[in-house]
């Protein structure tokens, strides 16, 4: 009798434990990046590696072009537990950690190499730690979204910020982007990226700012006449995961995820740099005019606006100098 009871108890315990031991971890990825973009490719690389390395234990679904969550809503969704992974940018995190607003500053990073070296230095480690502890977000690695330029639906010659006076320019949601638009001389209009094509076509907006490859991938060049290479923002983008979701992974899964995130970021950076160049060829073929004004005129105006608006007073003391010192 006693043996039967023990055997039954062991069998029951085994049955109850089986679903836990074999539970599948689902990682939903949401990004505003177009499906054909290097950033979307990076997430697909992560999906392939994790599902191959942990068959049946990890399932990754990649949702591009804001198909799952609209741009700007992914971070709150991760904090609520409704989303596991996304590609937030500095502006979104800055809303909760204003002391790191300098990372969103125009004309801060010299180029993509300077950007990546900064985030892979002690500066990046400090930032990642604060974001994890205060925002609840694990930044697995930093990629390169691109260098933002201005794209207009008219052929007005743009040589200095005042030439953009009266221009209604779409900017991503967020106070910092609105300040940046004003600093560039334009009137900011907050609008989800999925609505920009129609906005440019109908005249609801006159311009938008994005890296050249994003302008091409969203087909904005079809309804615009010129691209002005102001190169005002060398922009990082993060491959990030909600901390509670990351903490639920096994140590082996966490290590593999960090490893493949670095590989995916390196791939994305190289592809994006090439992609930005090839986008210019697309614009030329479409008879979209390309010009490059004196960036120093825009840089001076931008930093004056940052100071006037009070943004620089919120920034972590000495951080800009440390970033500029990175070689």
CATH code for the domain in which residue 197 is found: 3.40.190.170
pLDDT at 150: 97
Residue 266 included in any domain: yes
Residue 6 included in any domain: no
CB 174 within 8 A of CB 98: no
Residues 6+ positions from 81 with CB-CB distance below 8 Å: 242, 244, 245
Residue 184 included in any domain: yes
pLDDT at 172: 82
Dihedral (CA of 129, 240, 216, 305) sign: negative
DSSP notation for 92-160: HHHTT-GGGGGGG-TT-SSSHHHHHHHHTSHHHHHHHHHIIIII-EEEEEEEEEEEEEEEESS----SS
Q: What is the pTM of this model?
A: 0.88
Residue 37 included in any domain: yes
Residue 9 included in any domain: no
pLDDT at 111: 97
Residues 6+ positions from 188 with CB-CB distance below 8 Å: 169, 171, 177, 178, 180, 181, 182
Farthest CA pair distance, the chain: 93
Tally of domains in the chain = 1
Residue 5 included in any domain: no
Q: CA 91, CA 177: separation in Å to the nearest integer?
A: 8
Residue 13 included in any domain: no
Give the residues across from 239 on adjacent strands: 141
Residue 203 included in any domain: yes
Report the chain (327 residues): mean pLDDT per 10 consecutive residues: 47 45 86 94 98 98 95 94 97 94 95 98 98 98 97 95 95 82 91 93 97 95 97 97 98 98 98 97 97 94 91 95 97
Q: Which residue is associated with the tokens 């809503």?
A: 73
Range of the domain at 285: 22-324
pLDDT at 22: 56
pLDDT at 9: 46
Residues 6+ positions from 90 with CB-CB distance below 8 Å: 100, 103, 104, 235, 236
């Amino acid at each position: 009798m006693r043996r039967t009871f023990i055997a039954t108890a062991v069998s029951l315990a085994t049955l109850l434990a089986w679903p836990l031991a074999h539970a599948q971890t689902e990682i939903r990825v949401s990004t505003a990046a177009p499906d054909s973009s290097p950033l979307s490719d990076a997430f697909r690389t992560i999906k392939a590696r994790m599902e191959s390395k942990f068959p049946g234990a990890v399932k990754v679904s990649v949702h591009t072009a804001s198909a799952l969550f609209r741009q700007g809503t992914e971070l709150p969704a991760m904090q609520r537990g409704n989303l596991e992974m996304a590609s937030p940018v500095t502006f979104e995190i800055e809303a909760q950690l204003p002391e790191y607003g300098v990372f969103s500053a125009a004309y801060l990073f010299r180029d993509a190499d300077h950007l990546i070296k900064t985030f892979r230095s002690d500066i990046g480690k400090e930032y990642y730690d604060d974001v994890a502890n205060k925002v609840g977000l694990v930044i697995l690695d930093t990629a390169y979204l691109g260098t933002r330029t201005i794209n207009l639906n008219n052929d007005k010659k743009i040589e200095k910020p005042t030439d953009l006076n009266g221009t209604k320019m779409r900017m991503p949601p967020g106070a910092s982007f609105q300040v940046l638009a004003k600093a560039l001389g334009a009137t900011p209009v907050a609008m989800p990226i999925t609505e920009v094509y129609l906005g440019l076509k109908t005249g609801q907006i006159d311009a938008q700012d994005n890296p050249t490859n994003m302008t091409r991938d969203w087909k904005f060049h079809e309804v615009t006449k010129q691209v002005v290479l102001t190169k005002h923002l060398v922009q990082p983008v993060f491959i990030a995961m909600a901390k509670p979701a990351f903490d639920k992974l096994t140590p082996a899964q966490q290590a593999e995820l960090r490893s493949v995130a670095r590989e995916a970021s390196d791939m994305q950076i190289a592809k994006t740099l090439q992609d930005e160049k090839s986008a210019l060829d697309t614009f030329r073929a479409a008879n979209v005019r390309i010009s490059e004004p004196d960036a120093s005129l825009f840089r001076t105006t931008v930093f004056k606006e940052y100071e006037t608006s009070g943004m620089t007073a919120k920034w972590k003391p000495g951080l800009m100098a440390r970033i500029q010192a990175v070689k």
